[in-house]
Chain A
């Protein structure tokens, strides 16, 4: 098996270390303690950076697309089809297809991650805005709200729950997809997993880094639920 991976620290060093590490036991707490600061913690920070950049850029683009698709209905189907198509391309394949254009760089990874957030965010935003009852919009217009006022004070707040749900789903998915970033650049929590796979399947590292990705996703999900509750207190699920 060949691993085409960016270089990382060579761990574990079978032969030295504790007997647990030498025997590749199920879980060596010793190893985690030793490598938290040089491997796991930096990987966690990088992972959060990868996701934060992707979700913010994706959110901005999706917002512009939604405004366009909402204002000009004709634009909605093509935007939907394109984002649907982008979502179908397997992430690993998209990375490789982008490499000839953007090289082995952070840009390649971010373009791929952003394109996956688009479908989720766009769909939720547009559905949220479309499902605002027409009567309410009519009432707002009838009361003398301008079109812009109707949008910012009536339609947007009513669509907020759907928009925030989209943000939640997009964030959790991106945390998960960002794990394969190391196919292009040595960043994120995927890196320790690759290193462990390349070094005789070192179990402790796989379980720790894998567990950290899942925990990160669940924590992010929880935080966004709290945000959702705070911003839309009128929605009680």
Chain B
């Protein structure tokens, strides 16, 4: 228990260090999540809209689960060398499966009757996707993004072994910061992941389609 008291003392003594590291952590996580979203979201939504590529969507999530974060970062190091990009590349690869798979199934599993009705009204393919399927599937799409965000924030910690910045730098360097520093940084990472999860769940709740009263 004493260690925790010391950890909070560490937070009080070094607010600047923790803030800077948290900023770096967010930068690395944000960049990776952003790139992963740009790559995975359009593919997932489009394949789901076409009801094609089940094999890809399911396979990506199975293989993704089997890829350990440390192994990805170590592979990234051998290929890109030490720096920002090896970590970003590893984190992007890690974030793609949950986003892609959830986006695919969110659209693929939309109520066929509703989609048919929209088509019958003369909506084009992209209108159906953006005004019908996407709003209906949004909570599930956001759930995938939430899982990816938690993964990325958690794994950005491990990126420190590959020369990445962020809170992981404190966690893997007990020699310099002591156990209280390590625990303090760990609590910061946990808080960060929890906040990200909370914010995305709130957005998810707000975006859930609610039945509107019929006038």
Q: By the criterion CB–CB under 8 Å, are B71 and A203 in contact?
A: no
Q: Which residues of B contact A169 (CB under 8 A)?
A: 65
Q: By the criterion CB–CB under 8 Å, are B62 and A96 in contact?
A: no
| A92 in contact with B176 given A97-B190, A169-B65, A221-B62 (CB within 8 Å) | no
Nearest neighbor of B195 in chain A, beta-carbon distance: A88
- In the complex, whether B162 has a CB less than 8 A from a CB of chain A is yes
Q: By the criterion CB–CB under 8 Å, are A176 and B190 in contact?
A: no
Instruction: Name A179's contact: one of B1, B70, B187 (CB within 8 Å).
Output: B70
- In the complex, whether A172 has a CB less than 8 A from a CB of chain B is yes
Q: By the criterion CB–CB under 8 Å, are B74 and A176 in contact?
A: no
The CA of A173 and the CA of B2, in the complex, are separated in Å by 33
Q: Which residues of B contact A176 (CB under 8 A)?
A: 65-69
Q: 1/0 per residue A203-214: CB within 8 Å of B?
A: 100110110011
Q: By the criterion CB–CB under 8 Å, are B189 and A93 in contact?
A: yes
- In the complex, whether A201 has a CB less than 8 A from a CB of chain B is yes
Q: 5 A-B contacts, Cβ less than 8 Å apart?
A: A91-B154, A92-B157, A100-B3, A190-B68, A193-B74
Q: Which residues of B contact A193 (CB under 8 A)?
A: 70-71, 74
In chain A, positions 1-49 with a C-beta closer than 8 Å to chain B are 1-4
Nearest neighbor of B158 in chain A, beta-carbon distance: A92
Give the interface residue-count category, chain B. Answer: 35 or more
Q: By the criterion CB–CB under 8 Å, are A180 and B66 in contact?
A: no
Instruction: Name B68's contact: one of A89, A203, A214 (CB within 8 Å).
Output: A214
Looking at the assembled complex, report how far the CB atom of B54 sits from the nearest CB atom of chain A, in whole angstroms: 11
The CA of A85 and the CA of B171, in the complex, are separated in Å by 21
Q: By the criterion CB–CB under 8 Å, are A2 and B176 in contact?
A: yes
Q: 1/0 per residue B168-203: CB within 8 Å of A?
A: 100111111001001101110110011001000000
The CA of A145 and the CA of B2, in the complex, are separated in Å by 55
In chain B, positions 142-156 with a C-beta closer than 8 Å to chain A are 150, 153-155
Q: By the criterion CB–CB under 8 Å, are B175 and A210 in contact?
A: no
In chain A, positions 127-180 with a C-beta closer than 8 Å to chain B are 169, 172-173, 175-177, 179-180
In chain A, positions 61-110 with a C-beta closer than 8 Å to chain B are 85, 87-94, 96-97, 99-100
Q: By the criterion CB–CB under 8 Å, are A93 and B74 in contact?
A: no
Q: Which residues of B contact A94 (CB under 8 A)?
A: 186, 190
Q: By the criterion CB–CB under 8 Å, are A3 and B172 in contact?
A: yes
Nearest neighbor of A209 in chain B, beta-carbon distance: B71
Give the interface residue-count category, chain A. Answer: 35 or more
- In the complex, whether B129 has a CB less than 8 A from a CB of chain A is no
Looking at the assembled complex, report how far the CB atom of A204 sits from the nearest CB atom of chain B, in whole angstroms: 10
Q: Which residues of A contact B162 (CB under 8 A)?
A: 197
Q: By the criterion CB–CB under 8 Å, are B65 and A85 in contact?
A: no
Q: What 6 A-B pairs are tightest by C-beta distance, nearest first?
A: A90-B154, A217-B66, A93-B186, A100-B3, A210-B71, A179-B68
Q: Which residues of A contact B197 (CB under 8 A)?
A: 88
The CA of A213 and the CA of B63, in the complex, are separated in Å by 12
| A88 in contact with B150 given A183-B172, A201-B77, A214-B71 (CB within 8 Å) | yes
Q: By the criterion CB–CB under 8 Å, are B68 and A97 in contact?
A: no
Question: 12 more A-B contacts (CB under 8 A) besides A179-B71, A180-B158, A217-B68?
Answer: A2-B176, A4-B174, A97-B183, A172-B62, A175-B68, A176-B65, A179-B68, A179-B70, A193-B70, A201-B74, A210-B75, A221-B66
Q: By the criterion CB–CB under 8 Å, are A100 and B4 in contact?
A: yes
The CA of A210 and the CA of B2, in the complex, are separated in Å by 38
The CA of A158 and the CA of B45, in the complex, are separated in Å by 33
Nearest neighbor of A96 in chain B, beta-carbon distance: B186
Nearest neighbor of B66 in chain A, beta-carbon distance: A217
- In the complex, whether B78 has a CB less than 8 A from a CB of chain A is yes
Nearest neighbor of B153 in chain A, beta-carbon distance: A90
Q: By the criterion CB–CB under 8 Å, are A173 and B172 in contact?
A: no
- In the complex, whether A231 has a CB less than 8 A from a CB of chain B is no
- In the complex, whether B161 has a CB less than 8 A from a CB of chain A is yes
Nearest neighbor of A202 in chain B, beta-carbon distance: B78
The CA of A1 and the CA of B172, in the complex, are separated in Å by 10
Instruction: Name A88's contact: one of B75, B171, B193 (CB within 8 Å).
Output: B193
Looking at the assembled complex, report how far the CB atom of A88 sits from the nearest CB atom of chain B, in whole angstroms: 5
Looking at the assembled complex, report how far the CB atom of B97 sits from the nearest CB atom of chain A, in whole angstroms: 12
Looking at the assembled complex, report how far the CB atom of B143 sits from the nearest CB atom of chain A, in whole angstroms: 12
Nearest neighbor of B65 in chain A, beta-carbon distance: A172
